[in-house]
Amino acid sequence: MAGSDSPKPQKPNPPTSAANSPRKPLQVMHISRKNDESSSEKLLGEVEEEKLKTNPSSKNAPKPPTIFEPSQKPIQSISKANNPSQASEGEQALTMEDLLAKEEKTLSHKIPNQSEKSFPNIEPVFAERSVDDFDFDEDEFLAALDQNEPIGNTGEIAKGKVIGVESDGVYVDIGGKAPGFMPKKECGLGVITNLKERFPKDLEVEVLVTREQNADGMVTISCRALALRQSWERVENLEKEGKVVQVKVNGFNRGGVTCELEGLRAFIPRSQLEQGENHESLVGKTLGTAFLEVNPDSRKLVLSEKKAATAKLFAELKIGQLIEGKIISIKPYGFFVDLGGISGLLHQSSITNGSFRSLSEIFKKGDQIKALITDLDPRRGRIGLNTALLEGPPGEIIQETEKVLSEASERALKAQEALLNKGQENSE
């Protein structure tokens, strides 16, 4: 066949192996940085000569711009770099990283710090500053503290204006970050049916802080707690003065009757009533009473109708007053004198300015005497008496008892002046 006589395409010969041909060594150029410009120019010259040898036509070609950084060391020649066999063993071991690290180390020793170069012998000095060097105003600082001080510590009394009334309580502006809230049950003593009538807007009120600020800055306040505190203070003052108070009985139980005083609930035991056997009938009646116990901590207020008579007598007495009474008892430390329902003590140190061996030498039980009141304590029911102030010479009350007692009124005037002056000195 014609097709069979056509020549077969010849396969291209495989490339000959270059394994036996000598291999050209890798060319490594060691470049270092140097500050010497002359070495740089020399290196450029060598590079140009090498190019001319290999390619003479490049002599007239324009030279490309060359960027070159000066180095500290002269750079090795290209011929030496192209022939690794001519390099020393130490140079063959160096890598580019080692050369650059060595270069930087050398530069750090060569180039001094600018501050050290300009001021070689001057060390930096840091001047110390005191508080007086700053713009500091103590008054403004304290004012800022007062401005940011939280308002409303527990137990404090605060004043403010009503800014809102809700069904469950009243909001009062007391000057804090948030208004104070007064629950309905804390709006006053007794029952308040209409809060809006009792607390109109902008009404100025005085309240007691019962709970400090919460997370929102709001405090809990109370008119009732403040009223109770003030009531207890008034009751304590009445007790100290030994006053007789009028109360109205509003209830009873097995042990006695109840009443109200200064908004506080008080109790009168049956044993302290004039009509204790039929105490139920006293409901609605007004009684004159004195204080038996006043304790704000336990909220215990106990009154006595029987003690009211004694309290009434105490209310009629005063320091320096000349009284007359009967000796009802003799004790080792003095005489007890009945003053018409209450008794006073004539202590042995207040009988005379003279000396004596026994109290019986001066007075006997049942004697009527006159004495000055020098101590008065209605709260504890104590009255202190004195006859030594009525004496002229010391011991006169023992030698001339009748004379001293008969002239007691005139002598009391001088004694009262002495007591008045003594009281003024003590107060100063």
Quote the CA–CA distance of 217 and 179 in Å, as a whole number: 8
Q: Is residue 393's pLDDT more than 70? A: yes
Average pLDDT rounded to a whole number, residues 115-138: 53
pLDDT of residue 357: 85
Using only C-alpha atoms, what is the Rg of the chain? 58
Map out the domains of the chain as residue ranges: 157-227, 243-310, 317-427
pLDDT of residue 295: 93
Q: Is residue 334's pLDDT more than 60? A: yes
What is the DSSP secondary structure assignment for residue 191, as one 8-state letter?
-
Distances (CA, A) of 93 to 59, 84, 178, 230, 331: 36, 11, 80, 100, 124
Quote the CA–CA distance of 267 and 281 in Å, as a whole number: 16
pLDDT of residue 41: 60
Of the candidate ranges 44-53, 76-85, 205-214, the one whose mean pLDDT is the lowest = 76-85
Nearest of 398, 311, 383 to residue 346 by alpha carbon: 383
Of the candidate ranges 17-21, 48-52, 216-220, the one whose mean pLDDT is the lowest = 17-21
Q: Which two tokens stand for residue 169?
A: 């309580």
Q: Is the pTM of this model over 0.75?
A: no
Give the sign of the dihedral formed by CA 265, CA 270, CA 271, CA 276. positive
Quote the CA–CA distance of 139 and 105 in Å, as a whole number: 59
Average pLDDT, the chain: 75
Which has more pLDDT, 118 or 200? 200
* Burial class (CB within 10 angstroms; exposed 0-12, middle 13-18, buried 19+) of 392: middle
Whole-number percent of the chain with pLDDT over 90: 23
pLDDT digit string (tens) for 68-117?
444 444 444 444 444 444 444 444 455 666 666 665 555 555 445 544 44
pLDDT of residue 85: 46
Nearest of 250, 232, 382, 239 to residue 304 by alpha carbon: 239
When pLDDT is cut at 50, 70 and 90, the band that residue 158 belongs to is: confident
384 and 334 Cβ atoms separated by less than 8 Å: no
pLDDT digit string (tens) for 227-281?
899 999 999 999 888 788 999 999 999 999 999 999 899 999 999 998 888 888 9
Is there a common fold for 157-227 and 317-427? yes
Indicate the pairing of strand 343-347 with strand 382-386: parallel
When pLDDT is cut at 50, 70 and 90, the band that residue 53 belongs to is: low
Of the candidate ranges 88-102, 202-216, 392-406, the one whose mean pLDDT is the lowest = 88-102
Of the candidate ranges 7-11, 180-184, 211-215, 422-426, the one whose mean pLDDT is the lowest = 7-11
Q: Is residue 336's pLDDT more than 90? A: yes
Average pLDDT rounded to a whole number, residues 142-170: 75
Quote the CA–CA distance of 352 and 354 in Å, as a whole number: 5
Give 287's contacts (C-beta < 8 A, 6+ positions apart): 246, 247, 248, 249, 259, 268, 273, 305, 308
Q: Which two tokens stand for residue 263?
A: 């908004």
pLDDT of residue 309: 80
Indicate the pairing of strand 322-331 with strand 334-338: antiparallel
User: Coil, helix or strand for 377?
Assistant: strand
When pLDDT is cut at 50, 70 and 90, the band that residue 301 belongs to is: very high
Query: CATH code for 157-227?
Result: 2.40.50.140
Residue 76 identity = Q
Which has more pLDDT, 417 or 80? 417
pLDDT of residue 212: 76
CATH class entry, domain 243-310: mainly beta
Q: Which two tokens stand for residue 257?
A: 């009757």
Distances (CA, A) of 75 to 30, 72, 80, 82: 7, 9, 10, 13
pLDDT of residue 167: 87
pLDDT of residue 150: 52
Half-sphere exposure of 146 (CA within 13 A, CB side): 6
pLDDT of residue 87: 45
User: Coil, helix or strand for 345?
Assistant: strand
Nearest of 285, 263, 266 to residue 274 by alpha carbon: 285
Of the candidate ranges 98-102, 195-199, 266-270, 415-419, the one whose mean pLDDT is the lowest = 98-102
pLDDT of residue 44: 64
317-427 CATH, one of 3.40.190.10, 3.40.50.300, 2.160.10.10, 2.40.50.140: 2.40.50.140
When pLDDT is cut at 50, 70 and 90, the band that residue 377 belongs to is: confident
Q: Is residue 19's pLDDT more than 60? A: no
